[in-house]
């Protein structure tokens, strides 16, 4: 059976070039980069070369690159490495769990945390970040692109706010890296986390930009690796693979791959939206009010202001009613022509490979399984905790009700996606949707 993988935001396969680049470092060039003999020197030189490539990728100095085990470690390091009891931390309610769970732990240890809610379109309003700041705020952490909706956040604007306020700024760029023009100086951040396996590199390796002078404490202690910023013998093959993946990602940003991907995504999206009872999460401000109208009575529909967002746990379902279309977003969009694939139906900036679509009158999980059986791999917006399927915290924060959040699917295309992949998905998705709706209709908007 034909298989079409449309879950690139979960992980990606190694690019063949990455595998080839890594190959020698498993067996022939196996040395420990800390050893002084020739084998160690070969490994050390490979890590140095990789560091130079990553410095180019981030647009920073070589000494500002720290290799680690991936996005979770980078995100945890920013939070555990900078915050102390009594500090205040500003983040958002749509971050990855690597941020949210770390924030919750710090809250238990005496750090005050503010989770800023998104607009109904999934955007974080920089003005809300500004409003959340206090004299004791030490760190802001906002993601570059949301993993579920693909919505790009106005990090440059937030970077300016952080600078003006003297607050450290971390960007979780795990989903944006390799998909949008990348420049930590332009973003104005002090820390930035990326992960190799989201961009056709190996799993279990990543890197962090740490701006010179940022007093972030190492999560792991032991040897003096990575200038004492991350103890542990370097994963040389992984680091070499990450560097190759970063090199390929930089090429892909310039060779037409991104607009090609955006066109494929748009065709897929338009084809699915031709089905009745569907809509996009995070793309059209017009699609949001319907979701809000169906909010259950107990669900917060409005972000009631600065203090209401403050707490020790993310406020689920607390989306601001205002869809932010202020001039700063337009400015930000227009300076990033590649990342903004704008048409009248999709005015919110998104990465080119992602669309998140709701389907009324069915269960998202059932559709994921039905599509998998037909050879199409996609992901639902829900997470399984102790056997219970929880609707996506991201979609809930945007104001969707539980039923619609549970009935939402993420399609995220690999860089290598083809027209034939989209053709196949457009054949299979309508069949599966019609079949599921016929056998087990779920009444949209009734469940809480
Ligand atoms: N941050 C975001 C936005 C992600 O999507 C992910 C992975 O899905 C992570 C962090 C964690 O990255 P890793 O899998 O490298 O630990």
Tens digits of per-residue pLDDT, 170-217? 999 999 999 999 999 999 999 999 999 999 999 999 999 999 999 999
Structure tokens at 374: 């037909």
Q: What's the mean pLDDT in 13-21?
A: 98
Q: 317-353 burial by CB neighbour count: b if 16+ within 10 A, else e?
A: bbbbeebbeeeebeebbeeeeebbbbeeebbbbbbbb
Per-residue pLDDT band for 1 (boundaries 50, 70, 90) equals: confident
The answer, yes or no, to whether residue 93 has pLDDT greater than 90, is yes
pLDDT confidence of residue 209:
98
Query: Nearest Cα to 81, choosing from 100, 59, 106, 57?
Result: 106
Query: Nearest Cα to 123, choosing from 168, 162, 75, 158?
Result: 158
pLDDT confidence of residue 390:
83
Compute, in angstroms, the gap from residue 96 CA to the centroid of ligand 1.
Answer: 7
Ligand 1 atom 12: residue of nearest CA = 71
Compute, in angstroms, the gap from residue 98 CA to the centroid of ligand 1.
Answer: 7
Distances (CA, A) of 101 to 40, 112, 227, 313: 38, 14, 27, 9
Per-residue pLDDT band for 348 (boundaries 50, 70, 90) equals: confident
Compute, in angstroms, the gap from residue 217 CA to the centroid of ligand 1.
Answer: 21
Rounded Cα distance between 229 and 301, Å, is: 43
Compute, in angstroms, the gap from residue 16 CA to the centroid of ligand 1.
Answer: 22
Compute, in angstroms, the gap from residue 283 CA to the centroid of ligand 1.
Answer: 22
Query: Nearest Cα to 371, choosing from 291, 427, 289?
Result: 427
Q: Is ligand 1 within 6 A of the CB of residue 174?
A: yes
Tens digits of per-residue pLDDT, 274-297? 999 999 998 754 433 333 322 222
**Catalytically active residues, by annotation:** 384
pLDDT confidence of residue 290:
34
Q: Is ligand 1 within 6 A of the CB of residue 346?
A: no
Per-residue pLDDT band for 319 (boundaries 50, 70, 90) equals: very low
Q: Is ligand 1 within 6 A of the CB of residue 148?
A: no
pLDDT confidence of residue 315:
30
Tens digits of per-residue pLDDT, 49-91? 999 999 999 999 999 999 999 999 999 999 999 999 999 999 9
Q: Is ligand 1 within 6 A of the CB of residue 71?
A: yes
What pTM did the predictor assign?
A: 0.86
Structure tokens at 57: 């990728």
Query: Nearest Cα to 194, choosing from 357, 77, 63?
Result: 77
Distances (CA, A) of 333 to 94, 245, 338, 440: 20, 26, 9, 42
Q: What is the mean pLDDT of the chain?
A: 86
Q: Is ligand 1 within 6 A of the CB of residue 175?
A: yes
| Backbone Cα Rg of the chain | 22
Pocket test for ligand 1, best of 141, 174, 206 (most atoms within 8 A of CB): 174
Q: Is ligand 1 within 6 A of the CB of residue 176?
A: no
Phi, psi of 246 (to 5 degrees): -65, -40
Q: Which atom of ligand 1 is nearest to the CA of 203?
A: 15
State whether residue 27 is helix, strand or coil. coil
- By the 8 A CB rule, do 148 and 351 touch? no
Per-residue pLDDT band for 347 (boundaries 50, 70, 90) equals: low
Positive or negative torsion for Cα 19, 20, 23, 25: negative
State whether residue 134 is helix, strand or coil. coil
Q: What's the mean pLDDT in 390-416?
A: 95
Query: Nearest Cα to 243, choosing from 9, 448, 45?
Result: 45
Q: Note the helical H segments in 335-418.
A: 364-373, 393-397, 402-406
The answer, yes or no, to whether residue 367 has pLDDT greater than 60, is yes
Rounded Cα distance between 77 and 354, Å, is: 27
* Non-local CB neighbours of 202 within 8 Å, separated by 6+ positions: 14, 18, 22, 196, 237, 238, 241, 242, 245
The answer, yes or no, to whether residue 448 has pLDDT greater than 80, is no
Residue 448: DSSP 8-state: -
The answer, yes or no, to whether residue 129 has pLDDT greater than 80, is yes
* Non-local CB neighbours of 78 within 8 Å, separated by 6+ positions: 139, 141, 170, 191, 193, 208, 216
Q: Which atom of ligand 1 is nearest to the CA of 73?
A: 16
* Non-local CB neighbours of 369 within 8 Å, separated by 6+ positions: none
- By the 8 A CB rule, do 154 and 329 touch? yes
Q: Is ligand 1 within 6 A of the CB of residue 178?
A: no
């Amino acid at each position: 059976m034909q298989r079409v993988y449309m879950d690139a935001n979960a992980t990606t396969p190694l690019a063949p070039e990455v595998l080839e680049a890594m190959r020698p470092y498993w067996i022939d060039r196996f040395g420990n980069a800390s050893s002084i003999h020739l084998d160690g020197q070969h490994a050390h030189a490979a890590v140095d070369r990789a560091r130079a490539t990553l410095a180019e990728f981030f647009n920073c100095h070589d000494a500002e690159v720290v290799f680690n085990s991936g996005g979770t470690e980078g995100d945890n390091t920013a939070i555990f490495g900078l915050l102390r009891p009594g500090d205040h931390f500003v983040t958002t309610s749509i971050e990855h769990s690597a941020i949210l769970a770390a924030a919750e732990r710090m809250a238990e240890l005496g750090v005050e945390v503010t989770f800023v809610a998104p607009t109904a379109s999934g955007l974080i309003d920089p003005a809300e970040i500004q409003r959340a700041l206090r004299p004791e705020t030490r760190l802001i952490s906002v993601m570059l692109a949301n993993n579920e909706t693909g919505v790009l956040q106005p990090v440059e604007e937030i970077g300016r706010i952080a600078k003006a306020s003297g607050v450290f700024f971390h960007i979780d760029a795990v989903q944006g890296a390799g998909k949008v023009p990348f420049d930590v100086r332009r973003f104005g951040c002090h820390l930035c986390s990326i992960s190799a396996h989201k961009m056709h590199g190996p799993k279990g390796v990543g890197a962090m930009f740490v701006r010179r002078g940022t007093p972030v404490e190492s999560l792991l202690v032991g040897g003096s690796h990575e200038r004492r910023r991350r103890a542990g013998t370097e994963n040389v093959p992984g680091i070499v693979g990450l560097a190759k993946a970063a090199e390929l990602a930089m090429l892909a940003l310039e060779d037409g791959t991104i607009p090609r991907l955006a066109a494929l995504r748009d065709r897929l999206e338009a084809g699915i939206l031709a089905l009745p009872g569907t809509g996009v999460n995070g793309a059209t401000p017009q699609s949001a009010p319907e979701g809000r109208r169906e909010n259950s009575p107990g669900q917060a529909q409005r972000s009631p202001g600065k203090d209401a967002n403050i707490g020790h746990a993310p406020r689920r379902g607390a989306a601001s009613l205002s869809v932010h279309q202020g001039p700063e977003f337009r400015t930000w969009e227009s300076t990033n022509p590649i990342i903004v694939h704008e048409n009248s139906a999709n005015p919110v900036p998104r990465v080119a490979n992602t669309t998140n679509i709701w389907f009324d009158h069915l269960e998202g999980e059932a559709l994921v399984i039905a599509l998998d059986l037909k050879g199409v791999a996609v992901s639902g917006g829900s997470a399984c905790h102790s056997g219970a399927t929880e609707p996506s915290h991201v979609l809930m924060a945007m104001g969707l009700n539980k039923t619609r959040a549970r009935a939402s699917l993420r399609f995220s295309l690999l860089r290598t996606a083809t027209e034939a992949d989209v053709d196949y998905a457009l054949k299979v998705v309508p069949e599966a949707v019609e079949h599921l709706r016929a056998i087990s209709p779920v009444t949209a908007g009734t469940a809480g």
